[in-house]
Amino acid sequence: MMLTCKEVSRLVSQGLDRRLGLGERVKLRLHLAICDGCRNFRRQLDFLREALARLGQ
């Protein structure tokens, strides 16, 4: 079963907070391989992490 973008957005976020299971990672990778919007989303969250680390410097 393919994940929806909505499910992917939650998993991408949780992936920054906990170690995802093997099944989750495989499904995530399959979806990201074909979805520009979700790939952008993941890059944006990575960027947020970097920006927040520098906040107040």
Binding site for another protein (CB under 8 A): 4-7, 9-10, 13-14, 16-18, 36-38, 40-41, 43-45, 47-56
Nearer to another protein, 26 or 46 (CB): 46
Cβ proximity to another protein: between 28 and 38 the closer is: 38
Nearest to 4 by CA among 43, 40, 32, 26: 32
In the bound state with another protein, the residue whose beta carbon lies nearer, of 18 and 29, is 18
Q: Indicate the length of the chain as a whole number.
A: 57
